[in-house]
Amino acid sequence: MTSPTSEDIEDQLDNFIIRKPREQVNTYAAARKETKDGQQIHEHIPLLVNDILGSSPDPDDKGVFTVFNPTTLKYRTCLVYGFVAGRGVHNKSFYKYIIDDGTGTMEFSIYVKPKESELIKRLYNEANSLVGTAGLQYERVSASMVRLLGKALEYIDGSVILPGNNVLLYGRPNRFRDKNVFDVISFTVDNEKSRKLEIAFNDNLIDYYQSHGAT
């Protein structure tokens, strides 16, 4: 009793199974440096909050924005320095705060990195337990491990930011409900009295604006 159809079970199965197209493998593609019409896309440019709020998304290239001050140019990522004026509504994946640099206010969100912070916390605890117990020869190594890991945690844990702090942010603008918000890629908290970071950033920004100013 061998019918020709039962031999090829796959043909039979095809009637019952909907084959989904295999998900396309995300291959790494370097961020393009030019838009489709050949304009340069800038990265890491220092900007004022007011100008980030005023920039508009490029319709053809995702993630690319056009800024109009100091001059009209396309950019993907930028740097901004300011005062944390308040907290937004945190959620499971993002810490949200308000940044104010004296030219405007904007919400920024920092992605919660659960895996990274858990890993670093574990290593931190491990190093910490070594400080007292391991012999003298490891004492200094483990102490500096603790310091390093503690510092590393500061740079990835967005919950350490408090209203009233000053932050330097690197990230990209994002259009959300007709308003520009800021997705942070990395950040530094600057609470030193000297404000060396703020002064240095401002110098850089003033230079940049003046050298690109529309004349």
Partner 1 sequence: MSDVDSAESINDPAEHLPKYCDFFKHLLVEELVLEPDYRQIHYGKCAVIGRLCAIPDYFKLENVTVPHLPSDYRLPTGAVSLLLLNFTYDSPSVESLAHAGYCIVRGEVVLCNVQKPNSPTLTTRGLHEQLLQLGNNEQLRSALLEKVQQTHRPALSVWHTNRIDQAEELIQRRLEIRLLCKDSISWGQ
- Contact residue for partner 1 among 19, 20, 177, 193 (CB under 8 A): 193
Q: Does 209 sit near partner 1 (CB under 8 A)?
A: yes
Across 164-201, b (16+ Cβ under 10 Å) vs e yields eebbbbbbbbbeeeeebbbbbeebebbeeeeeebbeeb
Q: Which of 35, 66, 103, 174 binds partner 1 (CB under 8 A)?
A: 103
Q: Which contacts (CB < 8 Å, 24+ apart) does range 114-119 have?
A: 116/156, 117/153, 117/156, 117/157
- What residues numbered 109-148 form the site for partner 1, per CB under 8 A? none
Please tell me whether residue 68 binds partner 1 under the rule CB under 8 A: yes
Of 87, 90, 172, 195, the one binding partner 1 (CB under 8 A) is 195
Contact range with partner 1 by CB under 8 A, out of 107-115, 135-143, 144-152, 187-195: 187-195
* Nearer to partner 1 among residue 49 and residue 64 (C-beta): 49
Q: Which of 45, 51, 120, 184 binds partner 1 (CB under 8 A)?
A: 51
The tokens describing 112, both together, are 């919660």
Interface with partner 1 (CB under 8 A), residue from 126, 164, 175, 176: 164
| Identity of the residue, 68 or 176, whose beta carbon is nearer to partner 1 in the bound complex | 68
Residue (85 or 119) nearer to partner 1, CB: 85
List of residues 6+ apart from 108 with CB closer than 8 A? 96, 97, 98, 99, 169, 171, 181, 182, 183, 184
Q: How far is the CB of 80 from partner 1 (least distance, A)?
A: 12
Interaction site with partner 1 (CB under 8 A): 48-51, 54, 68-70, 83, 85, 100, 102-105, 164, 166, 193-195, 198-199, 202-203, 205-206, 209-210, 213-214
